[in-house]
Amino acid sequence: MSAALSKKERLKISRNPMPEQEPEKRVCSFDEVPLGYSIETAILEAQRCLQCPVPTCIEGCPVRIDIPGFLALVEQGDFLGAAQKIKETNILPAICGRVCPQEEQCEAVCALTKKYTSVAIGRVERFVADYERASGASELPELPPKTGYRVAVVGSGPAGLTVAGEMIRKGHDVTVFEALHRPGGVLVYGIPRFRLPIEVIDHEIDYLKKLGVEFRCNVVIGRLYSIDDLLKEEGYHAVFIGTGAGHPRFLNIPGENLNGVYSANEFLTRVNLMGANKFPEFDTPIVRGERIAVIGAGDTAMDAARTARRLGTRQVTIYYRRTAAEAPCRVEEMHHATEEGIGFEWLTSPVRFLGNERGFLTGVEFQRMELGQPDESGRRRPVPVADSNYVVPAQVAIFALGFNVNPIIAETSPDIITTKEGIIKVDTKTGQTSKPGVFAGGDIITGGATVILAMGQGKIAARSIQEYLTNR
């Protein structure tokens, strides 16, 4: 611990809140909601760290950032040094500082949590990464001599980006193949700009480009090249599959094909990636309406509802078949949605969509639910209440019920063993698939999870790819 402050003095400092835009102002734009710590606040927050001899926070981080190490550098005012320290293990600090559920990870196991409140590790991480970006002084690490090995990464979400960063720093040539026209995966097409600005993602991807990673966008693996093509004809020595879980789930109820019924992925992609909020300046339109119904209560539902609000819709309501207590979203996200005037209706589920003669949505018929016995997830099962149907008017309905994986890789590479849902089976200790030289990680091996878990699996796979290449 730095000699400057005693433990007692550190414990006296309260956790510093994150300054945020006011709700009335922020619903009129896509500008980022949290404003970030100032230098003074970041140092003050870093001073709360006790520099524990056995830092439990590191155990809670899937990519094992040296948390006390970077907090000590922040306390000393060496912000660029702190950025380097984080980047030793995490190449996406500005992203993780914004979107990681730290309250369930490093901060959940911070020594202060038991009696006080945890160090705001994520907020300081974000500060450090933003400071480095604003300074324009991001240093590139020295790379080892080229090995001559070539690694193909399929998918440019957090899992693929992590593997690319690890492999390029081992001296291999790395090509990332991405189906969309822009790299970043869910970071770019799913998470809205008011939570994760595009310049933050671009900066982190530019860093990889500067290290020498090649990005090939608009290439669908399984169409243009198969995995075998990459290994045999294209001359790659190893392949990492990080294609995520981007296939939306529907309920298969009447009316799902009406205009105005979207999956959250389509709705968010139209706005985030295609600029539908600026139509007709951009080509992609989006159905707008007085009332929008969002179905589901996870983080994706909150993102869709808050995006809908920013399209000018006054009445946006989230409908969920359980209660607020079972809602799978982060507490912070529900809090932000509530502040922005999003309504919530619990214990209800849609049974059909109603439309007009032109095929546009006009309303949703719901049925009330009550909670029964716990199901296999441990949560109480929602049970329909007889004769409780009711109709609410809506011009737009958005399904946010979770995701399945895209079957294209499994269909075109039958020697890669998957579950019947298309999840690629791997050895979880190595990320090795059933096909030699092919590794996988991220949502494609878990189903929808989190950025940092995808990155953690990317790291595991990168270690195994390194071992595989070294032992060839």
Ligand X SMILES: Cc1cc2nc3c(=O)[nH]c(=O)nc-3n(C[C@H](O)[C@H](O)[C@H](O)COP(=O)(O)OP(=O)(O)OC[C@H]3O[C@@H](n4cnc5c(N)ncnc54)[C@H](O)[C@@H]3O)c2cc1C
Q: What are the E-state strand segments in 148-227?
A: 150-154, 173-177, 214-216
Q: Does 242 bind ligand X (CB under 6 A)?
A: yes
Q: Least distance from C-beta 20 to ligand X, angstroms?
A: 16
Strands in 315-319's sheet, in edge-to-edge order, are 261-263, 396-399, 291-295, 315-319, 343-345
**Least distance (Å) from ligand X to the CB of residue 375?**
23
Residue 344 near residue 325 (C-beta atoms within 8 A): no
Choosing from 20, 21, 56, 379, the residue that interacts with ligand SF4 (CB under 6 A) is: 56
Residues 301-330 that bind ligand X (CB under 6 A): 303
Residue 119 binds: one of ligand SF4, ligand X, none (C-beta under 5 to 8 A by kind): ligand SF4
Which CB sits closer to ligand SF4, 85 or 193?
85
**Bridge partners, 438 (sequence order):** 239
185 binds ligand X (CB under 6 A): yes
The correct pick among 408, 425, 434, 447 for binding ligand X (CB under 6 A) is: 408
Binding partner of 68, given ligand SF4, ligand X, none, CB within 5-8 angstroms per partner class: ligand SF4
Q: Which is nearer to ligand SF4, 50 or 211 (CB)?
A: 50
Nearer to ligand SF4, 11 or 401 (CB): 11
Q: Which residue has the tokens 């020594």?
A: 111
97 touches ligand X (CB under 6 A): no
Q: Which of 52, 198, 273, 354 binds ligand SF4 (CB under 6 A)?
A: 52
Cβ-based nearer residue to ligand SF4, 49 or 453: 49
Q: What is the DSSP letter of 259?
A: B
Residue 90 near ligand X by CB under 6 A: no
65-94: contacts with ligand SF4 (CB under 6 A): 67-68
CB-nearer residue toward ligand X: 268 or 347: 268
Q: What is the CA radius of gyration of the chain?
A: 23
CB 371 within 8 A of CB 323: yes
Euclidean distance between the first and final Cα of the chain, in Å? 45
Q: Tokens for 143?
A: 């790379």
Which listed option, ligand SF4, ligand X, none, makes contact with residue 155 (CB within 5 to 8 Å by class)?
ligand X
How many angstroms separate the CA atoms of 179 and 201, rounded?
17
Binding mask 94-123 for ligand SF4 (x = CB under 6 A): ----------------xxx------x-x--
In 10 A of CB 386, how many CB atoms? 8
Query: Which CB atom, from 99 or from 112, has the smaller least distance to ligand SF4?
Result: 112
Name which position in 42, 46, 57, 168 contacts ligand SF4 (CB under 6 A).
57
User: Where does residue 400 fall: left (phi above 0), alpha (psi -120 to 50 degrees), or beta otherwise?
Assistant: beta
Parallel/antiparallel/unpaired status of strands 238-241 and 214-216: unpaired
Residue 417 — φ and ψ, nearest 5°? Answer: -75, 135
The partner residues of 259 in beta bridges, in order of sequence, read 360
Whose CA is closest to 93, among 120, 121, 134, 128?
Answer: 128
> What distance in Å separates the CA atoms of residue 152 and residue 147, rounded to the nearest whole number?
15
Our CB check for ligand X shows the closer of 16 and 265 to be 265
- Give residues in contact with ligand X (CB under 6 A): 99-101, 154-160, 177-180, 185-186, 190-191, 220-222, 242-244, 246, 268, 299-300, 303, 406, 408-409, 442-444, 448-452, 454
